[in-house]
Amino acid sequence: MENNEKEVVSRNFIEQEIDKDLAEGVYDTVHTRFPPEPNGYLHIGHAKSILLNYGLAEKYHGKFNMRFDDTNPTKEKTEFVESIKEDIEWLGADWEDRLFFASDYFEQMYEAAVKLIKKGKAYVSDLNADEIREYRGTLTEPGKKDPYSDRSIEENLELFENMKNGSYKDGEKVLRARIDMTSPNINMRDPIIYRVAHMNHHNTGDAWCIYPMYDFAHPIEDAIEGITHSICTLEFEDHRPLYDWVVRELEYQRPPRQIEFAKLYLTNVVTGKRYIKKLVEDEIVDGWDDPRLVSIAALRRRGFTPESIRMFVELCGVSKSNSSVDYAMLEYCVREDLKLKKPRMMAVLDPIKLVIDNYPEGQVEMLGASNNMENPELGTHQVPFSRELYIEREDFMEEPPKKYFRLFPGNEVRLMHAYFVTCTDFEKDEDGNITVVHCTYDPATKAGSGFSERKVKGTIHWVPVKEAVKAEVRLYENLVDEEKGVYNKEDGSLNLNPNSLTVLKECYLEPAVSGAEAYDSFQFVRNGFFCVDYKDSKPEALVFNRIVSLKSSFKLPK
Task: State the sign of the Cα–Cα–Cα–Cα dihedral 353, 357, 358, 360.
Answer: positive
- Does 546 bind ligand ATP (CB under 6 A)? Our answer is no
Distances 50 to 44, 54, 326 between C-alpha atoms, Å:
10, 6, 20
- Does 409 bind ligand ATP (CB under 6 A)? Our answer is no
Query: C-beta of 188: minimal distance to ligand ATP in Å?
Result: 21
CA distance 514 to 532: 11
Closer CB to ligand ATP, residue 329 or residue 542? 329
- Does 49 bind ligand ATP (CB under 6 A)? Our answer is yes
Amino acid, res. 316: C
Closer CB to ligand ATP, residue 229 or residue 263? 263
Q: Classify burial at 45, counting beta carbons within 10 Å of its beta carbon; exposed 0-12, middle 13-18, buried 19 or more.
A: middle
- The full length of the chain comes to 558
CB 289 within 8 A of CB 307: no
- Does 233 bind ligand ATP (CB under 6 A)? Our answer is yes
Residue in the shown chain whose Cβ atom is closest to ligand ATP: 45
The closest of 288, 187, 305 to 235, measured between CA atoms, is 187
- Does 48 bind ligand ATP (CB under 6 A)? Our answer is yes
CB 413 within 8 A of CB 407: yes
With helix as H, strand as E and coil as C, how does 382-442 read? EEEECCEEEEEHHHECCCCCCCCCCECCCCEEEECCCCEEEEEEEEECCCCCEEEEEEEEE
Long-range contacts from 376-380, C-beta under 8 angstroms, 24+ separation? 378/343
Closer CB to ligand ATP, residue 164 or residue 229? 229
Query: C-beta of 262: minimal distance to ligand ATP in Å?
Result: 8
Total residues in contact with ligand ATP, by rule CB under 6 A:
13
Query: C-beta of 66: minimal distance to ligand ATP in Å?
Result: 11
The window from 5-13, 19-27, 29-37, 148-156 that contacts ligand ATP (CB under 6 A) reads 29-37
Footprint (CB under 6 A) of ligand ATP, residues 359-398: none
- Does 273 bind ligand ATP (CB under 6 A)? Our answer is yes
Query: C-beta of 69: minimal distance to ligand ATP in Å?
Result: 7
Footprint (CB under 6 A) of ligand ATP, residues 244-263: 263
The window from 15-23, 45-53, 279-287, 443-451 that contacts ligand ATP (CB under 6 A) reads 45-53
- Does 45 bind ligand ATP (CB under 6 A)? Our answer is yes
Residues in CB range of 184: below 8 A, 6 or more apart: none
Query: C-beta of 310: minimal distance to ligand ATP in Å?
Result: 14
Query: C-beta of 209: minimal distance to ligand ATP in Å?
Result: 24
Q: How many CB atoms lie within 10 A of CB 373?
A: 11
- Does 67 bind ligand ATP (CB under 6 A)? Our answer is no
**Considering only residues 14, 31, 46, 512, which one is a binding residue for ligand ATP as defined by CB under 6 A?**
46
**Considering only residues 36, 212, 343, 464, which one is a binding residue for ligand ATP as defined by CB under 6 A?**
36
Query: C-beta of 12: minimal distance to ligand ATP in Å?
Result: 14
- Does 232 bind ligand ATP (CB under 6 A)? Our answer is yes
- Does 71 bind ligand ATP (CB under 6 A)? Our answer is no
For 154-219, give the DSSP string. Answer: HHHHHHHHHHHTT-S-TTS-EEEE-S-TT-SSGGGSS-EEEEE----BTTTBTS-SEEE-HHHHHH
Task: State the sign of the Cα–Cα–Cα–Cα dihedral 42, 45, 47, 49.
Answer: negative
Query: C-beta of 316: minimal distance to ligand ATP in Å?
Result: 9
- Does 33 bind ligand ATP (CB under 6 A)? Our answer is no
Footprint (CB under 6 A) of ligand ATP, residues 308-347: none
CB 102 within 8 A of CB 216: no
The window from 33-41, 282-290, 365-373, 514-522 that contacts ligand ATP (CB under 6 A) reads 33-41
Spell 427-453 as b/e; 16+ CB within 10 A means b.
Answer: eeeeeeeeeebbbbbeeebbbeeeeee
Closer CB to ligand ATP, residue 124 or residue 313? 313
**Considering only residues 264, 299, 509, 542, which one is a binding residue for ligand ATP as defined by CB under 6 A?**
264
Chain residues that interact with ligand ATP, rule: CB under 6 A: 35-37, 39, 45-46, 48-49, 232-233, 263-264, 273
